[in-house]
Every structure is written in C-alpha cells, then in structure tokens.
Amino acid sequence: MPDPTADLKHHFRAVRDPRIERSKEHRLLDIIVIAICGTIAGANSWVDIAEWGSSHRAWLERFLDLPHGIPSHDTFGRVFARLAPQQFQAAFGAWVATVASLTAGQVVAVDGKLARGSYDTHHGHAARRMISAWATHNRLVLGQRRVEADSNEIEAVPELLKLLALKGCLVTLDAMGCQTEIAQTIVDQGADYILAVKDNQPTLAADLTDLFERRSTSDWATWQTDYHRSVSKGHGRLEIREVWMVTDPDWLSYLNPKQRWPNLHAVVLVRAERHIGAKVEVGHHYFITSLTTPAQRLGRAIRRHWRIENSLHWVLDVSFREDDSRVRVGHGPENLVVLRPIALNLLQREKTAKRGIHGKRLKAAWDTDYLLKVLTP
C-alpha cells in the first residue's frame, strides 16, 4: 500500500536524533510517526501512545520498518524529552506550509496558552507557555513558539511571526502583542495588523479614550470616520456591537507623532453590549490597525481573532486533555504540545466525518481505514 505517512516523514526527517548510535533500537522517524498516529487516535500520554502502537503493530508494519517492534512508553518519554524542540517546531512549520494555503486577507490570530499540567515543582520548572498562530479560515495551527522561562510573550511573538509566510494576511493579537516591534515584524512580512490597546500602552490608551469620547460632539462629523452596527441573537442572548473607525490623518499624526507604529492607518473602538436575561454587560475595546477597509470588515476580523480560544485552546483542553497532561521531563512537555496541533491539523483537514474533534479521534481509534483518510486527506 502507498505510505500514508510519506509526507510527514519527508518533513520530519530533518529532526536530529538526540540518541547515541549504540542506543538506537528504534528509528526516530518511526517513533515520531507512531506518536502522531497514536495522538490522532486518542492517545494523550506516552503510555497511551505505546499501548496504541502495540495494539496496531501489524497495521503499522505495512509502512514502518519496526525492526525491534513497538517502542516502550519509556522510550517515547526519553526520546521526546531529549528531542530539540526548536527542530521539532521547525519541521512542523515546514510541513504546515505545504498543506495550508493562506488566501489574501485571511485572519491569522496569534495568542498564548499555558499547558497547566506541565509544571514541575520538584525541579523548579513553571508550566510551559506556548504562542500559537491560528489560521481562522483554514482552522489550522500554522506554527508555535515556546515562551522561555526567563522571557515573555513580547519576545516570542516576533520569533514566531518570522517563521511564517504571512504575505497578504491580517494578523490579530490581543493587548500583549501591542508593541512597535511586533507591528514592524508583521509589516515586514507583507501582512496587515489589528492590535488591541490596553493599559500596557497607557499613553496610547488614554489618547484613544479621549478621541472616541468625542464622537457625540460636532467636531466628529468633520473627521474621516466610519461606523457599523450589528445585532445578533441566540441561546438566550442579545448582543449589539458597534464599531467606530477613525482614519483622519490629523488625529493619526497626533496619536503617532514619531511614526513609531508602522503603517498606522486607522484606530478603532468596539462597543459590545450583551443582554442575558435581565443582566446587561457593556465593554469598550480599542484597537490600532494598518487597514483602511470599512468598519464592518474590521469588526468581523476582530471577532474572528477570538476563534482561537474556541477552535484551538478549548479543543486542546477538552478533546486532547492538555491541561491534565503530567508529562514533565526534559523537553517532553513542549514536544507533546507540538504533537497535539499536528494531530489537530490532520483531523481538521479530514472532511468526510461530520463529527467534532473528539468524535473523529474516537473514529480513528476504532477504524484504521478512517485513520488512513486522516493521514492522507
């Protein structure tokens, strides 16, 4: 049969084997492929992956050599604990670049997530935080980068963005990404940005608050602005969203006097009013952007950013039980965090099964023909 893992093998072949030659009983590519297949099929730990591999040995031998059978769970743990995460992430990114076609204008949401179960109190290791880039239309993870223990997300985000092909895309970040260096990196990649503004940029936040508080004055009518209002209902909720956008060059010069923000073309206020029964919540959110498109499109793009919470972070927690993982040794937690998005991307690309990710994982565990479809959509 044709090898359904040939594409994965091609891209992960560049990952350097951390073991000394005499200790290699199992090929590194076999270990990686079994780990990916097992994770697709519902395995959430090294023990689970080894058990899945043992129960599917005959099927795996159709396209893997397996000269010494299926590795033990200790072998999986040791290898992934020593595997250089930067190489594993780079191979993941190279593979994604061949399967994800990003259309112009697509929203790429960048956000961080803490793998809560990866802390190691005994050795003084905090839980790992990873930055992910999520293509909201393709519903694929484009890349990941770990936030180092002695660093922060502000340093990790540019490193991740530089690895991605973002030309023509729209990159969205929450307030932690509202930094001039990050904006410049996005522009240098040929992309546009929408950045949330909060108190981490106190002067800019105060100026935006002052600007949009003037929208009821007579001066507002003389400025270059756009406005959009939308109403949505569902599940007992009523939400009213209003978007104000200012592209007035005088105001932009005032807000960006030293041109620190590259290609700053508009500032935005989103007022969200939510009714749940008798309870009413109102929030005001400010953004800066390199776009000049209408307020309606900006409002849609801002809403799409939060799909990363429901379509990625929530899925990793609920369907892959990421926060329950107790893998702690070496680089194991970080590499396992990369394994899950590989499996998630493959499951997302498979369209014949009309089920959620958890259901698809169960189906892949029960039916190797379906697992083949996931591996070769």
DSSP per-residue letters across 263-310: T--EEEEEEEEEEETTEEEEEEEEEEES--S-HHHHHHHHHHHTHHII
Take residue 288 and report the two structure tokens written for it: 């800066």
Q: Does residue 66 sit in the same domain as residue 109?
A: no
Identify the segments of the chain with pLDDT beneath 70.
1, 103, 115-127, 149-152, 328, 377
Take residue 199 and report the two structure tokens written for it: 């108190």
Task: Please state, in angstroms and rounded to a whole number, the distance separating the CA atoms of residues 34 and 303.
Answer: 37
Buried residues in 240-274 as b, exposed as e (16+ CB within 10 A): ebbbbbbbbeebbeebbeeeebeebbbbbbbebee
According to DSSP, residue 313 is labeled: I
Take residue 192 and report the two structure tokens written for it: 């546009």
H/E stretch holding 131 reads strand 128-135
User: What pLDDT score was predicted for residue 126?
Assistant: 57
Q: Does residue 350 sit in the same domain as residue 296?
A: no
Q: Does residue 160 sit in the same domain as residue 299?
A: yes
Q: Does residue 78 sit in the same domain as residue 203?
A: no
Has residue 31 been placed in a domain? yes
Q: Does residue 72 sit in the same domain as residue 217?
A: no
Letter for the amino acid at 283? G
Instruction: Name the burial class of residue 330, with classes exposed (0-12), middle (13-18) and buried (19+) by CB atoms within 10 angstroms of its CB.
Output: middle
Closest CA to 161 of 151, 171, 174: 171
Task: State which residues form the domain around 48.
Answer: 6-84+331-375
Has residue 40 been placed in a domain? yes
Backbone angles phi, psi at 262, to 5 degrees: -70, 140
Q: Does residue 51 sit in the same domain as residue 164?
A: no
Backbone angles phi, psi at 138, to 5 degrees: -70, -20
Has residue 320 been placed in a domain? no
Has residue 325 been placed in a domain? no
Letter for the amino acid at 331? H
Has residue 89 been placed in a domain? no
Q: Does residue 278 sit in the same domain as residue 170?
A: yes
User: What pLDDT score was predicted for residue 277?
Assistant: 84
User: Cα angle vertex 206, ends 203, 209, to 5°?
Assistant: 150
Q: Does residue 223 sit in the same domain as residue 346?
A: no
Has residue 326 been placed in a domain? no
Are the C-beta atoms of 288 and 264 separated by less than 8 Å? Answer: yes
Q: Does residue 280 sit in the same domain as residue 358?
A: no
Beta bridge partners of 171: 108, 193
Q: Does residue 149 sit in the same domain as residue 284?
A: yes
Q: Does residue 108 sit in the same domain as residue 223?
A: yes
Domain C-terminal end among 313, 348, 367:
313
Domain count, the chain: 2
User: What pLDDT score was predicted for residue 356?
Assistant: 92
Task: Please state, in angstroms and rounded to a whole number, the distance separating the CA atoms of residues 109 and 302.
Answer: 9
Take residue 159 and report the two structure tokens written for it: 């490193």
Q: Does residue 134 sit in the same domain as residue 169?
A: yes
Q: What is the CATH number of the domain that holds 295?
A: 3.90.350
Has residue 249 been placed in a domain? yes
Has residue 46 been placed in a domain? yes
Model confidence, pTM:
0.87
